[in-house]
Amino acid sequence: MYGRMQFADYIVSYALQANTDCLQRLALAEKNDGDAPATGMFSAKDVRQLRRNTERLLSLWQMMHWSVGKAPYRSGVERLRETQRLLPVGKRWVERAAQQLLAKVDDSQLATAVELACKGVVELQAPSVTADGDRLSCLYQDESECWRDYALLRKVQDYDLIEHGIGRAYGKSRRLGERLLEQPHNSKRLQRAHRWVRHSINHLELLRPALSQSNKTRGWFLDRLGANLEKQLDVMRFRSHAGALKLKPKVISRVERLAEVRCRRLAGQTAKLVAGAFQDSDEEFIRAIAGDVKKLGLQEIVLLPVEGLKKNEAH
């Protein structure tokens, strides 16, 4: 008797799609390099997509953490963290931060100060290191193989993934968001809140085909909350780097004043977004997500047994 598709199967399929997209981009980059060794000369768009897919995979491991145990979880996270380190960071965050500081500013002296600081911060950044395409390919292949050999993952019950994966991320995001309101300019709290909010965003993206209207609305708030926290992190990072520049004290003072004003505004927006994103308790959210998972209709999909698939491949 053929098995029915479980939520775990759906997650595995999603993970393999993300991995396949990454491997295809790496293969195309290698092809574009001609006969030279794979150097990972990616376009900015490819780097963004590789980073996005890697973040999605990290969020899937977070969902599986409670069910698969510490060792497989740590192995997956370490692999993906190495992947993130190998991908070029770029300097666009400097420009984004400068744009945040100059938002609604029409004072020429302030604008000049930000432009000088922006130029200095860019020069301080380490040169972009060409990604090691061969190593990245190995990492994504290892990640893909791990998800393909998912006998353990198939044993995970749907509700465990919902309660201890998606529900846990929501609860962590809510609590960290509320704590952040007490100290909105605490960089460590900002980073932790941003990381867990991103997990929640990725989980809702996974369920997008079946999301209820309330969860679509929640996703809207979470998307904007995540972007808002990232903006604040960029501004704080810019301010820190600018403070190390050998610029006139007046220039540094103007940049710091603008950064403080901008962070206050972003913190005010964060408070509103936290209120909108986390209106429900953890229990209410888990029930809503369980309903959305049912709407995926996975039980109507029949899966071939692995043995049967292998026989078909042999023929």
Mean pLDDT of 63-85: 92
Q: Contact, 90 vs 47, CB < 8 A?
A: yes
Per-residue pLDDT band for 68 (boundaries 50, 70, 90) equals confident
Q: Are residues 83 and 52 in the same domain?
A: yes
* pLDDT at position 178: 95
In a domain, 116, yes or no: yes
* pLDDT at position 103: 83
Q: Are residues 186 and 261 in the same domain?
A: yes
In a domain, 5, yes or no: yes
Using CA atoms, how far residue 197 sits from 64, 224, 236, in Å, is 17, 10, 19
In a domain, 55, yes or no: yes
* C-alpha torsion 269→272→273→279, nearest 10: 170
* pLDDT at position 126: 63
DSSP 297: -
* pLDDT at position 165: 95
In a domain, 26, yes or no: yes
Q: Are residues 58 and 110 in the same domain?
A: no
In a domain, 306, yes or no: no
Reading the block at residue 202, the tokens are: 């990725």
d(CA 104, CA 268): 16
Q: Are residues 208 and 70 in the same domain?
A: no
Q: Are residues 109 and 255 in the same domain?
A: yes
d(CA 181, CA 187): 12
Q: Are residues 165 and 141 in the same domain?
A: no
Q: Are residues 96 and 240 in the same domain?
A: yes
Closest Cα to residue 124, out of 101, 94, 102, 100?
94
Q: Contact, 47 vs 88, CB < 8 A?
A: yes
* pLDDT at position 41: 63
Helices 70-86 and 133-148, interaxial angle, to 10°? 150
- Report pLDDT digits (tens) over 115-169: 999 999 988 776 655 668 889 999 999 999 999 886 777 778 898 999 999 999 9
Q: Are residues 56 and 121 in the same domain?
A: no
- Report pLDDT digits (tens) over 17-63: 999 999 999 988 777 654 444 344 678 888 899 999 999 999 999 99
Q: Are residues 19 and 1 in the same domain?
A: yes
Q: Which domain holds residue 217?
A: 91-128+157-301
Q: Are residues 30 and 97 in the same domain?
A: no
In a domain, 4, yes or no: yes
In a domain, 313, yes or no: no
List of residues 6+ apart from 184 with CB closer than 8 A: 263, 267, 270, 271
- Boundary-marking domain end, from 153, 168, 196: 153
Q: Are residues 108 and 253 in the same domain?
A: yes
pLDDT exceeds 90 at position 105: no
Q: Are residues 149 and 177 in the same domain?
A: no
Please give the single-letter amino acid code of residue 75.
Answer: S
Mean pLDDT of 90-118: 88
In a domain, 64, yes or no: yes
Closest Cα to residue 169, out of 75, 315, 277?
277
The helix/strand/coil state of 261 is helix
The CA-CA-CA angle for residues 16, 277, 231, to 5°, reads 75
Domain count, the chain: 2
